[in-house]
Every structure is written in C-alpha cells, then in structure tokens.
Structure 1
Amino acid sequence: MKMMIMTKSKKTMAGLLVLILGTMLLLSACGGGANKESSADGAGEITVGSKNFTENMLLALMMAELIEAKTDIKVKRQVNLGGSNVAWSALKNDEIQLYPEYTGTIVANYYQEETGNSAESLAKTRELLTEDELVFMEPFGINNTYTLAVTRETAEQHNLKTFSDLAKVSEDMILGVEFEFLDRDDGFPGIQKLYGMNFKQQKGMDHGIMYQSIANGETDVTNAYATDAQIKVHDLVILQDDKEFFPPYDAGPIIRQATLEKYPELEEVLNQMSGLISDEEMQKLNADVDVEGLKEEEVARQFLIEKGLIEG
C-alpha cells in the first residue's frame, strides 16, 4: 500500500510539472507577436530599406540614424535590396516599413500616370498612394531627374544655361549619351522634337564611358542624372530643362500608413530632413562613396552631424 501511495504521489507531482511547463510555454507563445514589434527594453522596431544604388542607400541610412537619435524606436537596416520594383514590393508586403523614393518613379512607373511639375507630381503621388495605404512625406530637397550637361568651358564659351540655349548651337556639337537614351521617347527623340535640337553627331555609349568621353573632349554634351557623382568629379554644368520635358524625381520618405499611425513621432522626426539636401550636396555625398571610397554609413552620419541634426 505504501508503495502504491508513493507511486501515485510521484505521478501527481509529474503531472503538476507538465501543467506548469505547458502554461509557461503558452504564455511565451502568446507574447511572441509582441516581441517581433518590440525590442528587449519595450521600444518599437521598424525596418528601413533602400534600392541598390549609392544615393538611395545614403538617404535610407540618414533616416535610420535620425530615427534612432530622436526616438526610442529601434531601426533595422535593409539597404541595397535591389531595383525599384524590389523595394516597392517589400514596402507593400510589409517586409520593410520605410524607404526613400522618387515622385516621378511612383507616378509614372508604379501607377502609369502622367506627371506634372514638382508640385503637381507631389500631389499626384500622395493621391495615388492612398489606395495602397502608403504615405509620401516631405521631400528631401533633391530632384534626381534626367538632364543634359556640358563642361564648364563649353557653357561659358556659348553662354549656355538652358536646353533652349543649347538647341541654338547644337548643330556644331557632338552628343554622347547612353544607348537607351537615344531611342526612348522620353529621351533624345522627345527632346529633339520639343526643343528642335539637331546635333552634328549622336553617339551611344555605356554610362561610365560617356563621362570620360566628355571630359576628354570627344563629345560636347551628355545626358546625366542631376545628382550624379561624376558631375562633381568632372566639374560639369547642368543645363536647365526650361520647357520641363523631363518629369521631376523629387526624393522623399515613403512609409506605410499603419507604421505612421503606430509611431506618429516619425512625422516630426523625418520632416527634419525636409529640403535638407541640394542637388550639389547630393553629388558630393555620392562622390564621397563612389569616388573617394568612404563607407555609406560614415558619409550619411557625418552629413547629419554637419547639419546639426544629430550629435557627433
């Protein structure tokens, strides 16, 4: 009888232990979702992403640094995700909650709508994004649009400031641009029709070669992005698209509406970058990475320190 009591007692204790362990596991599982959204000290966490080129990575890293400096939110960095469609899909799928994007890309590429000037494109961007519960915040100040550029010597010699100025002397010049730019309707054919440009010769070439060609005097005019590092490196002059042929590509933070609602402090923090960066400053930042070989994290942080937004 004594042995039977002892055996029953052991079984009872074992049952209690199983019950306690099961309860602990259940409580742990219930708290699992919260752990994904919170760090160990209870602060929230978001993921900032970027596309796969220097400028976009720099802008993403600036946002991440600023958020961590000004809030208790922890930031996971997922830079260099890939091209536009990769970053866009990641945002819509909630794999990232925030990344830098361009108004022209959103309106023309993602929604296949007509762009306008900067103000019109920004308004259109915000209108279109509402259907996907996304928000485009205040632009950073840069407009990474297509443009045409010449050497400083050429600009001074012919008093070139605008595309219209260039059209008047284009028949004496050689155009050297990317192969794709020569054929696209939103490239040279469109410019030629709108401005009446007729160059002495038109050469198609790879992106890297076209800057070297104009620097060596083999060409007189090249296409470029307004914030390209090579513009700074070769001291090129960007001409004004005075008839606004190219759509604006104003850069700014794009964020999930749900994230902004959960962390409303992000609006005030990210708006500190509103109008912060000029095209010329972006050229230099890009050159610091692409030419000088500095790390993106270092360049992004140092820029925010110089602007007085974070402490060194």
Structure 2
Amino acid sequence: MNTKIRTLLTMILASLLLLLAACGGSSAAGDNTASGGTITIGSKNFTENILLAHMIADLIEDKTDLSVVRKVNLGGSNVAWGALKNNEIQLYPDYTGTIVANYYQQETGTSEETLTKTKELVEKDGLEFLAPFGFNNTYTLAVTKETAEKYHLKTFSDLAKVSQGLVLGVEFEFLDREDGYPGIKKLYGMNFKDAKGMDHGIMYRSISEGETDVTNAYSTDAQIEAHNLAILDDDKQFFPPYDAGTVIRKDTLDQYPELKEVINQLGGTISEEDMQKLNGQVDIEGLKEEDVARDFLIEKGLISG
C-alpha cells in the first residue's frame, strides 16, 4: 500500500513539474513575443506629418517584430513635442527649424547648421534626430494671384507695405510661434488689419472665398497650386530651413536598437516634389493617408506589396 501511495505521489509530483515547466515555457514564449514590444508613433495635425508617421510605422512593422500603435493627428507642434517628452509617444516626424526655433528658441542657420544644432539640442533631452527624409518644407506666405496683381506683391517686404489693409488667416500655432507671425511682424514690420487662427484645411477655403487675404503655407503643400495662389519671396530670409526627419526617444533606441537602421532607410528618399504629390493625393484626390504612404514605400522598394 505504501509503495502504491509513493508511486501515486511520484506521478503527481512529476505531473506538477511538467505542468510548471509547460507554464514556464509558455511564459518564456510570451516574453519572446512581448520582447518584440510595442511602440507608439504620433504625428501633428496636418496631412504631410500624418503621411510621414504612417510611412515610419509601415517600415517598422515590415522590418521588425515590433507592434506599432499609431496616434496620428494629435494636434499642433507643441502637443506632439509634449507627448514625446512625456513618453506618451516614442517617436514622430518633425522639422529641424521647428525644433531649434520653436522648442528651444535658438538661432537657426543653413540646413546643415540647423540640422547639427537640432541633433545637439535634442540629445540633451534624451532624444535623437535621425536621418532627414530629403526635403525641406519651409513656411511661406501666399496670396491669391488677384491680390498679388492688385497690390504688386512679389516679396514679404512688398506685403508689409500694404498689410494694414489686409486680413491674415493662418494656423492657430502660427499666430504664437516665434518662427511664425510674431517673428515676421518684428522683422518685416507687418501689421495686418486682423489676424485669424484656423485649422490648416480651412485656411485655403477662407482665402479662396475672400474671407482672408494672406495665409501661411508650406512649400510642399499641393493646395497652393489647387487654389491658384501666388507664393511671396521671403526676401529677408526669415524662415529657417525645415528639413523633415524622425525624432525618437533615446531610451526607445536603447531598448530597440534595430529601429535606427530601419527608420534611416527613409533618409534622403523623399523630394519636395514627391511630398507635394503625396499631399495632393490626400488633400485633392481624397485618398487615405495610410494608403498613400504604403503605396509610396512599395513604389520605392522599401517594403513588399
């Protein structure tokens, strides 16, 4: 009887050990899956930045075993920047001029100088700016061609002379950023009859319908041509270079070092003409940002179809 009990206990113990081993194996497998990890990519609240965020996400999903959460259309620059520093997102696309002039209130320079300063500044905050995508999306000011002809406008200086009789309609954050309206006002002496803040998409409708006379625009924005606008020359070179690239947390790169090589595959692959075309596919043709982004990566051979 004792022998039978001992045998039974031995069998039970063996079964328990097997069960624990299986659980341990399952846990290890789960850890391996989790070791792939999850990262969150954000974007600002305009088409181009959303497109770029989807490109980065698609690349990461295609080239790594990481899971990607996409928090696009978060808001303006300061919202996205705050989310990155608070670790609510781990990376997002941004622009050198915005980082240097807006976040750190430092002087910019040439594209190369501003890129170098960007890398140095963000490093102090535990961040890294990766390889630029290849285009400079600088700010500019635009008017309708009728307004340009009526007031003989070719440059920002020309606009300053007649600004007191015109209405400025720009993105909300442009009204307050030092590399936006406040800075232009100081340098050029512009003093508009009224300055209105609005969403990016509404700006073009407002100027087309005559509700505003002047708007800010991006050099890669397809809406410029679609709305038959005239771009004015920044003759005192107020606006800094805005070379686009990925800004990412260093602790994220430490945890997933493969990300740097993967994301840097986008380096130098997007021209201003490319970006204007991609923006137009969304803003004018009505295609979805995620579809346009993916198709571009496939066309460039960066991901498989």
State the structure with more CA Rg. 1
CA deviations 1:93-147 (Å, max 9, x no partner) are 766554212224433454x341413333321221122234432112223444443
> Is structure 2 residue 15 aligned with structure 1 residue 10?
no
Give the match's secondary structure for 2:183. Answer: helix
Aligned counterpart, 1:174: 166
- Distance in 2 of aligned mates of 1:147 and 1:178: 11
- Distance in 2 of aligned mates of 1:128 and 1:197: 31
> Is structure 2 residue 54 aligned with structure 1 residue 61?
yes
Aligned counterpart, 1:35: 33
Aligned counterpart, 2:238: 245
1:177-256 maps to which residues of 2 (within 5 A)? Answer: 177-178=169-170, 184=176, 186=178, 187-197=180-190, 201-204=193-196, 206-207=198-199, 209-256=202-249
Give the match's secondary structure for 2:245. Answer: strand
Are the counterparts in 1 of residues 131 and 264 from structure 2 also a CA contact under 8 Å?
A: yes
Q: Which amino acid aligns with 2:72?
A: N
RMSD between superposed Cα atoms in Å: 3.7
Give the match's secondary structure for 2:124. Answer: helix
5+ residue gaps, structure 1, are 39-44
Q: Which amino acid aligns with 1:285?
A: L
- Distance in 2 of aligned mates of 1:159 and 1:107: 34
TM superposition shift of 1:300: 0.7
Question: In structure 2, do the counterparts of structure 1 residues 180 and 75 end up closer, same or farther at CA, with 3 Å as the change threshold?
Answer: closer
- Distance in 1 of aligned mates of 2:257 and 2:174: 46
Give the match's secondary structure for 1:114. Answer: coil
CA deviations 1:224-258 (Å, max 9, x no partner) are 34444532431323323232334443320123446
Are the counterparts in 1 of residues 101 and 108 from structure 2 also a CA contact under 8 Å?
A: no
- Distance in 2 of aligned mates of 1:217 and 1:240: 22
Aligned counterpart, 2:120: 127
- Distance in 1 of aligned mates of 2:107 and 2:202: 30
Question: In structure 2, do the counterparts of structure 1 residues 274 and 157 end up closer, same or farther at CA, with 3 Å as the change threshold?
Answer: farther
TM superposition shift of 1:17: 1.3
- Distance in 2 of aligned mates of 1:264 and 1:299: 28
Question: Which segment drifts farther, 206-215 or 133-142?
Answer: 206-215
Question: In structure 2, do the counterparts of structure 1 residues 91 and 181 end up closer, same or farther at CA, with 3 Å as the change threshold?
Answer: closer
Match for 1:116 among 105, 108, 120?
Answer: 108
Q: Which amino acid aligns with 1:151?
A: T
CA deviations 1:246-294 (Å, max 9, x no partner) are 4443320123446556766655554443343344543442342244331
TM (normalized to structure 2)?
0.77
Aligned counterpart, 1:41: none
Question: In structure 2, do the counterparts of structure 1 residues 109 and 205 end up closer, same or farther at CA, with 3 Å as the change threshold?
Answer: closer
Match for 1:23 among 15, 21, 24?
Answer: 21
Q: Which amino acid aligns with 1:12?
A: T
1:258-297 maps to which residues of 2 (within 5 A)? Answer: 260=253, 266-267=259-260, 269-279=262-272, 281-297=274-290
Give the match's secondary structure for 2:230. Answer: strand
Give the match's secondary structure for 2:269. Answer: coil
Q: Which amino acid aligns with 2:231?
A: I
- Distance in 2 of aligned mates of 1:228 and 1:308: 25
Question: In structure 2, do the counterparts of structure 1 residues 179 and 125 end up closer, same or farther at CA, with 3 Å as the change threshold?
Answer: closer
Are the counterparts in 2 of residues 49 and 87 from structure 1 also a CA contact under 8 Å?
A: no
